[in-house]
Amino acid sequence: MKVSLTKKIATVCHEVNRIYCESLGDHSQPTWAEAPEWAKTSALNGVRFHLAHPDAPPSASHEQWMQEKLATGWKFGPVKDPAKKEHPYLVPYEQLPKEQQFKDLFFVTIVNALRPPTAI
């Protein structure tokens, strides 16, 4: 089965995020293979957004992610809890801790590094 470029980029983004979270002491992120479908869908949607908007800044990545979460019933909560659909980072980008803002920077950088070259 051929894997789409979008899925390949989403997988890399997910795995970099997982490893970065582990470096911060957060071991709650499963591998791409073990990730729930909602997490994979979120990563795929983020990749599609940045492929369509190559100049979008990291803050736009967070805003797109937050809109998706809110649209699917998530709300702010003190800790990430998928069962309750609560997440502590459902706040404006400027209110995120710097280490969380870096996750959006990594995401944008990876998508832009792996995007197909444009025709001249």
Q: Are 37 and 72 in contact (CB under 8 A)?
A: no
**pLDDT band of 116, cuts 50, 70, 90:** confident
Alpha carbon distances (Å) from 40 to 3, 52, 55, 73, 117: 14, 18, 23, 17, 24
The predicted structure's pLDDT at residue 1: 56
Please say if the pLDDT value at position 110 is more than 90.
yes
**pLDDT band of 119, cuts 50, 70, 90:** very low
Q: How far, in whole angstroms, is CA 105 from its chain's centroid?
A: 10
**pLDDT band of 66, cuts 50, 70, 90:** very high
**pTM of the full structure:** 0.89
> What's the chain's length in residues?
120
Q: Return the structure tokens found at 52.
A: 């369509």
* pLDDT tens-digit map of 15-49: 999 999 999 999 989 999 999 999 999 999 999 99
Q: How far, in whole angstroms, is CA 37 from its chain's centroid?
A: 13
HSE value, Cβ hemisphere, 13 Å, CA-based, for 19: 7
